[in-house]
Structure 1
Amino acid sequence: MREDLLEFSALKEHIQNFVASDAGMSALEGLGPFRSWDEAKRRWEMLEEMMDVMSSSEPLVISAIPDIHEMLGIHEGAILEGQDIITISHVLKSSARLKHAVEKTGVYLARISAGIDPLEDLSTEIDAMLDPTGEISETASPLLREMRTQYKSARTSVLAKLEGIIDSLRTKSVLMDDIITKRNDRYVICMRHDHPGQMKGITHDYSRTNKTAYVEPLSIIDENNELNQLKADIVEEENRILKGLTLLILSSAGLILNNLRIYGMLDLLRACAVWAIKNHAVIPRLGTEGINLMGARHPLLLERLGDLTVPLDIKMPEGKDTLIITGPNAGGKTVALKTLGLLISMAKSGLAIPVKPDSLIAPVGNIWVEMDTNQDIQHDLSSFTAHALALKHIYENVTQGDLVLLDEPGSGTDPQQGGAIAVSCIDALRKKGACVVATSHSDLIKLYGMSCPGVENAATAFDDTGMKPLFHLQYGVIGQSRAFEILESIDFPGNIIKEASAVVSRDAGSALSRAMEDISHAGEMRRQAACEMEQAALLKEKAGIELKEIEQIKIRNAMKYKRLIDKVEALANRPKAKDSAKEVKEVRSSEIALELEQIFKESDPGETLSIHKGSSVRFKGTETTGEVLQMYHDTVDVLFGDKRMKVGLEQIEGIKPSAGKPTRKKMLRVSASQQIVLPIKVVGMRVDEALPVVEKAIDQAVLSGQPSLEIIHGTGTGALKKAIRVYLKGLPHVKVISDGSVGEGGGNKTIAVFDVR
């Protein structure tokens, strides 16, 4: 990427507003696109967690710790000042607090913070030796405490003697001031410069006017000497303590620097998260190819204009590697180009980008940018030559998968020659495997975009009524430059516009221009037709699904009706049920009944219900599955486990077999180990009450694999027994119906023996 044409550094300045520490500033300096997208995805994972934290009711707080690199880089033998050591201790404690706070947030952030070493022993040692001001504590050393006590006592004695001397001299008019001060680190009094003979002593200094002499009386010289010796001893002991702390700190310098690095990274992540939340930025999806940035907004425009920033949809569909953007001047072509480049640079840097959720980017390699930088005066190059050298550099260095952004390539020279050069460059870059996005007014580039496969065209929208750009992209169309219209909108001198119009008549456009207009119009019609065909196909598919569902419902209802009528007829054929038989015949001959019977006769129930020989099916109301062995018109033979049963199609439903395994191995094995259905008792029940109980018991008995079922119905009038046996005769899987043995109640009981093969 030549220079900083995408203004990534300006974006970092906005993020900098949310950085708290010097360590965070250092991390921000290194912010830029990663070498691989895997690194970017790892940063996204951390950033996403940080965005959740900063959006919560308890956002992360980071202290503004100073940069201590210089303190940790002192040369061998140097001693840190107490205040510097306190600063380092503050950094250690802030790092430990941050580690503790981040551990509770998310997996990826906790994984980073785990690298922070709190160095609690070092912090404890510093706190024991130094006061918060950086002064060495009284408890740091017994020897130091004793020497400080002696020093205070000796100082008090010296000051008392000097006070006495001052009192004795007040009547002799030799004092300039009755205060005690210091010169050359020794206590003195202020006397007139002509004091000789009044007091013996050593003059250490004179005032600026030479009227005051600073004199040390001879009587306190020994005590001043003792005081200075004690002070020197104290300084030596303090240096010994500071040296020990310095050595401890320097021995842990590597760990402290690592803490600072992690602290800075977390501070930077926090700043990036706050910026992202403020600007409604999201983490995009990373695809294999294709770009679809929905509602993309340029970050710098967003900072300046806020919600007034017009969002762009920037697309390069899968299967295409080039996007040509055309349209009028000041219509937003370059903004779209810069927006795309900056957002992809941000994404590869692990940042959230201001787009709509679920936007897609391709994993591009390097990003190469060529934009107009005017004449290169420094190197004595014309605008065209500077462009050409930049294009040459890009072509020589671009590799497979790189993204090349070209703003008005081929400009600065003859339009036809410049356009031809630009087309050749775009084509050559594509042949090297690069994705190219270019803006242009050139007719040759527009024609290239319309005629070459793999190229997507877009135009910046223009309001023909208000004669102003709308700052969004329209895809599949070629944009007009509209130079004359724009000049008119800014009140450009009319006579000049008229003269220019006469030179290039808008009514007599070139054959190339007319061809492009025709191709663009035809392309738009093709796209509209394709869209309508796609919608029609979806509607047809939906209608087909709904029709099949209706057919299945009709078939199921027809089969249910048939079985119900069969059962009712069986009951109606009993003695004393002549009226019922007549009613059944009336029902069977009704219009709706005839319609259902006709549906049943004309249809293939198995085909309609998508049940075929070999299909996997489930017995309705249970989890028992099996395989269809044989198809009849409205019944099937099904293998449930190792039991073969004949059931009605309305009693089963098709299921999808698990991929990769033979159907039969998927079946639920039904064996005698399942719960056995005990004899059922329906004595005293009415027929309509007993039959559902018998039906449920029969289904459970057959599925459990037992060979027979006893039904105790009693004697009574015999109506219940007859109804049950009529029902059993209509079941395809009931082979034998008999009374119980004489010893077990005889005719009071019916035994149903099943045909389970």
Structure 2
Amino acid sequence: MESRTLQVLEFPKILRVLSGMAVSEAGAAACLELRPFDNLDEVRREGEIFRQAAAWVGESGIAMRSFPPLDGLFLFLERQNGVLDQDGLFALKQALEIARISRDSLMQYEDRGWDVLREKLFAYTWPVKTVSAIGRCLDPEGRIKDESSPGLMDVRQEIRSIHQRCTKRVKDFVQQENLGQALQDEFMTISSDRYVLPLKVNFKNKTKGIIHDYSQTGETCYFEPMFLVETNNRLQELKREEREEEYKVLDYLTGLVRQEQEDLYEAYAGLVALDVLMAKISMAAGFDGLAIEVVPDGSPRLIKARHPLLALADDSVQAVDIELLEGQKALVVSGGNAGGKTVCLKTVGLIGLMAFTGLPVPAAEGSVLPFWNDVFVVMGDEQSLEENVSTFTAQIQYLKRVWGRVDEHSLFILDEFGAGTDPTQGAALAQAVIDSLVEKNATTFIATHFPALKAYAMAADSVRAASVLFDPSTKRPLYKLAYDQVGASIALDVAREHGLPTMILERAEKYLLLDGSDTSAVLDRLNTMAVKRENELEELEAERAKLEKKRAGLEKRFEQDRTRLLDEIQTQAQDLVRQWKADKLGRKEARRKLAEVRQRTEALAPKKQEVAVFSFQDIVPGMKVSYPAWNKSGTVLEINARKKQAKVDIGGVAMWIKADQLAAAGKEKSFAPSGQKTKAVAPSDLAVEVDLRGERADMALSRLERALDDALRKGAGRLEIVHGRGTGALRREVHEFLKHYPAVAEFSLADEEHGGDGMTEVTLK
């Protein structure tokens, strides 16, 4: 992409805005380096990364924190013998901490399928050794901890011991020598790494010692008493040992950093990339933008598009739909000055550059652009007095220079092309250029005032005409596009609006009438009709949005009421079960009331759309069917001709369903391969056994219900219930329960060989 194109379409201004939204120096610099990709796969990947990042930020609420630049640190590591200082290591620690928080946050959403985002930011091995070592050796303020090494801890403990001894000796000395009034400060201080007393100057000769320095005012001298000299000498030795031990720690940490240098650099690069992504998300929020779809080829369609720079500056910027229909390769925009023609062209070009860079754009969902690997622009006054080049000549020279690179993957923007020469010849040349661009299958956007070009746009099949609209009464621009019509240039109205003398305007109108080319009345009429149509469409859209909002509100309120009632019914049912278990309610009475509760629940269920069902003869094993009652689809496993039922596998659960409760699952049918006959599968021989002997009736029925549920989940066809002979009380309770269980087809006592009246065999639906 030519840098000239980027400059003319003001792409660097977008990058500067984006850079201002980054929180780190490295992120801001990376924003300024962004350029359109020359590969469609990269464009789509960047768009998907942005969408995943926006979803992650929206769900997690994670915010970007500033981190120090580390480019100098990695440059320093190129030296073979260099040792990093505390500041460099602390900066690395800060960056790694932010990277860890971000990494951990994204890892919580592994089930979201955000693999592209994870690969972009964290596709490296986490530098465990460096992170652990720096965390162990540096405190939250970046100082080296005592625990970094045994030697350092010993040295510092002795230094602290010396400090305590010095403090005590100084206090004793001050009291013995009665020097309290001679001290400027109550305590001793340190000068040149030695413990000294801040004495008033007029007391400096009162006792023996060494003067190390004076204060700026000259009223205080920093005095080292002789009894502290030996202690201070020892302190100097310990300070030297402390520096040596600290250097050893820094050298050790630097070695670990060098071992994991590649992973550390990738972690830093991922952090910078995250900062850029966060800046993109902030920009999207600034103009309510999104990452639009980019396709290999086709016609551009921008819905409710706004010029990005204008949208960032003002939320109320008028949105416009910019679209070419199938088979059309060029859009000719006409209409008056200051009506938005150039803004329309720049909007297409700048949104294209941003989309191909992976940036969000101010357009609505459903917008799509074909991938243009090159964008060419003829726009504005390009004359050069120094080079003796007129505007028209500059346009021709540019066209000549780039013409060989134009192909079906190019966008060509022509703003007032040919306007710097004779109108007749300029219009003819512009028309010829458009014809040639259409032949090359390049996408072209043109703004013009040439009447001949307007007529050409209305007549050519591969070219579409559009007009910027003006208020019919005030002649002020509405910044809207009306398609498949042309617009008047209204130069006289613009001149009148800007205060041109009336005498000049009247003469111009006379010359226009004499010329016989005044078509303003017809075009004004077209403009008025177009404005009326646009207003009606906006009113309809507003009404539709209002109704949609109202419907959404009603549905939400209904769902809330339904959920509340279902909760109440569930509580009521649980209360009934508790009463039954506590013997406060008879079994039959409890079942009756539970049946009433179930009926209320079914009445509250959302109504399903009526689906045409089919007869039993239409069903064969292996067929895909729909079960409207659950709003789910499944596969037929078996059929039971006697009961007109089919066993259907729905999401791993097999159950018998009557044929008249099933419907066709679209056009999807899974029949046996051609040439093979489908064999009907016999009812399942799988049997589940449950032993209830020795149980109380209520506990036995509870276990029986769980066993029935388990059998249904397994797709079993039979259930064997061992209840024993005894008094027959448990058998009667079991049979009474089975009579009312909906999944039971039939049941009977087993034959004598299998347990007789001590066991009941159940056939499941």
Output the TM-score relative to the length of structure 1.
0.63
Corresponding residue number in structure 1 for 2:464: 456
Q: 2:347 aligns with which of 339, 348, 355?
A: 339
Distance 1:18 1:267 in 2: 9
**Residue 152 of structure 2 is aligned to residue 144 of structure 1:** yes
Q: Is the 8 A contact 1:285 1:358 kept in 2?
A: no
**Measured at CA, do residues 619 and 234 of structure 1 come closer, stay the same or move farther in structure 2, by a change above 3 Å?**
closer
Aligned to 2:694: none
CA positional deviation for 1:438:
1.2
- Does residue 70 of structure 1 match 2:78? no
The one-letter amino acid of 2:103's match is K
Q: Using the alignment, how far apart are the partners of 1:144 and 1:289 within structure 2?
A: 70
- Deviation digits for residues 653-696 of structure 1, max 9, x if unmatched? xx9xx99xxx9985884789999xxxxxxxxxxxxxxxxxxxxx
Of residues 449, 453, 474, the one that matches 1:466 is 474
Counterpart residue type for residue 28 of structure 2: M
Partner residue in 2 for 1:622:
618
AA in 1 matched with 2:304: G
Distance 2:227 2:282 in 1: 71
1:291 aligns with 300
From the superposition, tell whether residues 182 and 267 of structure 1 become closer, same or farther in structure 2 (CA, over 3 Å). closer
Distance 1:223 1:209 in 2: 29
- In percent, how many aligned pairs have the same letter? 27
Amino acid at match of 2:618: T
Kept in 2, the 8 Å contact 1:192–1:211? The answer is yes
Q: Spell out, residue by residue over 1:143-196, the C-alpha distance to the aligned partner (whole angstroms, 9 max, x if none).
A: 222222222233444455555555565589987877644443333445676889
2-structure distance, mates of 1:409, 1:343: 22
User: Do 1:102 and 1:109's aligned partners in 2 also have CA atoms closer than 8 Å?
Assistant: no
Corresponding residue for residue 354 of structure 1: 362
Shift of 1:388: 4.0
Aligned match of 2:106: 102
Q: Counterpart in 1 of 2:37? A: 34
Which amino acid is 2:113 matched to? G
Equivalent runs, 1:210-359 vs 2, <5 Å: 213-276=221-284, 279-282=287-290, 283-284=292-293, 286=295, 288-306=297-315, 308-359=316-367
Q: Quick one: distance in 2 between partners of 1:173 and 1:111?
A: 70
**Is the 1:188–1:215 Cα contact (8 Å) retained in structure 2?**
yes
Give the distance between the partners of 2:679 and 2:293, measured in 1 at CA.
54
2:92 aligns with 88
Structure 1 counterpart of 2:52, which letter? Answer: E
Note the alpha carbon deviations across 1:72-94, whole angstroms, 9 max, x for none.
Answer: 33253443333442332232232
Q: Report if aligned partners of 2:16, 2:32 keep a CA contact under 8 Å in 1.
A: no
2:128 pairs, out of 117, 120, 124, with 120
Per-residue CA distance 1:242-280 (angstroms, 9 max, x = gap): 221122223323212211222333343344345435644
TM-score, length basis structure 2: 0.62
Q: How many residues end up aligned between the 2 structures?
A: 542
- Gaps spanning 5+ residues in structure 1: where? 525-617, 626-654, 676-757
Cα distance change on mapping 1:480 and 1:673 into 2, 3 Å: closer
Aligned position for 2:10: 7
3-state SS of the aligned residue for 2:8?
A: coil
1:364 paired to 2:372: yes
- Distance, in Å, in 1 between the alignment partners of 2:180 and 2:472 is 105
Could you tell me which amino acid in structure 2 is paired with residue 357 of structure 1?
E
Matched position secondary structure for 2:487 = coil
- Equivalent position of 1:535 in the other structure: none
Q: Is the 8 A contact 1:323 1:458 kept in 2?
A: yes
Q: Is the 8 A contact 1:23 1:261 kept in 2?
A: no
Q: Does structure 1 conserve the Cα–Cα contact (< 8 Å) formed by 2:294 and 2:371?
A: no
CA distance in structure 2 between the partners assigned to 1:461 and 1:172 by the alignment:
91
Distance 1:122 1:376, change over 3 A: same
1:49 Cα deviation from its structure 2 partner: 2.5
> Are 1:443 and 2:451 matched, yes or no?
yes
- Gaps of at least 5 residues in structure 2 are 531-613, 622-663, 684-765
> Contact conserved, 1:291 with 1:361, CA < 8 A, in 2?
yes
Q: In 2, Cα distance between the equivalents of 1:197 and 1:507?
A: 111
- Residue 726 of structure 1 is matched in structure 2 by none
How far 1:217 sits from its partner (Å)?
Answer: 3.8
- Which residue matches 2:51? 48
Question: How far does residue 142 in structure 1 lie from its aligned partner after superposition?
Answer: 1.8
Q: 1:78 to 1:183 in 2, by over 3 A?
A: same
1:472-483 alignment runs, 5 A limit = 472-483=480-491
Q: 1:159 to 1:327 in 2, by over 3 A?
A: same
Query: Which runs of structure 2 are paired with 1:512-551 in the superposition (5 Å)?
Result: none
Distance in 2, matches of 1:258 and 1:93, equals 14
Aligned-pair CA distance for 1:101: 1.7
CA offsets 1:109-140 (integer angstroms, 9 cap, x no match):
23434414332332221222222122222222
Kindly indicate whether residue 88 of structure 2 is the aligned counterpart of residue 79 of structure 1.
no
Is contact 1:54-1:274 (8 Å) kept? no
Q: Work out whether residues 333 and 446 of structure 2, in 8 Å CA contact, stay in contact via their aligned partners in 1.
A: yes
Q: Distance in 1 between matches of 2:24 and 2:180?
A: 63
Question: Is the CA contact (8 Å cut-off) linking 2:286 and 2:312 kept in structure 1?
Answer: no
For residues 438 and 672 of structure 1, what CA distance do their matches in structure 2 show?
69
**Aligned equivalent of 1:394:** 402
Seen in structure 2, the aligned counterparts of structure 1 residues 672 and 203 have a Cα distance that, compared at 3 Å, is closer
- 1: distance between equivalents of 2:682 and 2:150? 87
Q: Cα gap change, 1:84/1:503 in structure 2, threshold over 3 Å: closer, same or farther?
A: same
Deviation of the 1:338 alpha carbon: 0.9
| CA 621–193 in structure 1, closer or farther in 2 if over 3 Å, else same | closer
- Letter paired with 1:96: R
1:407-422 to 2 correspondences below 5 Å: 407-422=415-430
Question: What residue is the counterpart of 1:644 in the other structure?
Answer: none
- Name the aligned partner's letter for residue 48 of structure 2: E
Contact 2:126–2:263 under 8 Å retained in 1: no
**Contact 1:99/1:116 (<8 A) preserved:** no
2:469–2:482 contact (8 Å) kept in structure 1: yes
Is the contact between residue 372 and residue 387 of structure 1 (CA under 8 Å) also seen in structure 2? no
Q: Larger radius of gyration, structure 1 or 2?
A: 1
> Do 1:207 and 1:213's aligned partners in 2 also have CA atoms closer than 8 Å?
yes
Match of 2:280, SS state, is helix
Q: CA deviation at 1:54?
A: 3.9
User: Residue 593 of structure 2 corresponds to which residue in structure 1?
Assistant: none
Which amino acid counterpart does residue 142 of structure 1 have in structure 2?
P
Per the alignment, do residues 78 and 169 of structure 1 end up closer, same or farther by CA in structure 2, a change over 3 Å counting? Answer: farther
Q: Secondary structure at the match of 2:466?
A: strand
CA RMSD of aligned residues (A): 4.1
1:217-250 deviations in Å (ceiling 9; x for gaps):
4443332211111111111111211221122223
* Whole-angstrom distance in 1 between the partners of 2:169 and 2:465: 98
Q: Aligned partners of 1:425, 1:294: CA distance in 2, in Å? A: 28
Q: Secondary structure at the match of 2:117?
A: helix
1:73 is paired with a residue of what secondary structure? helix
Map 1:580-591 onto structure 2 (within 5 A): none
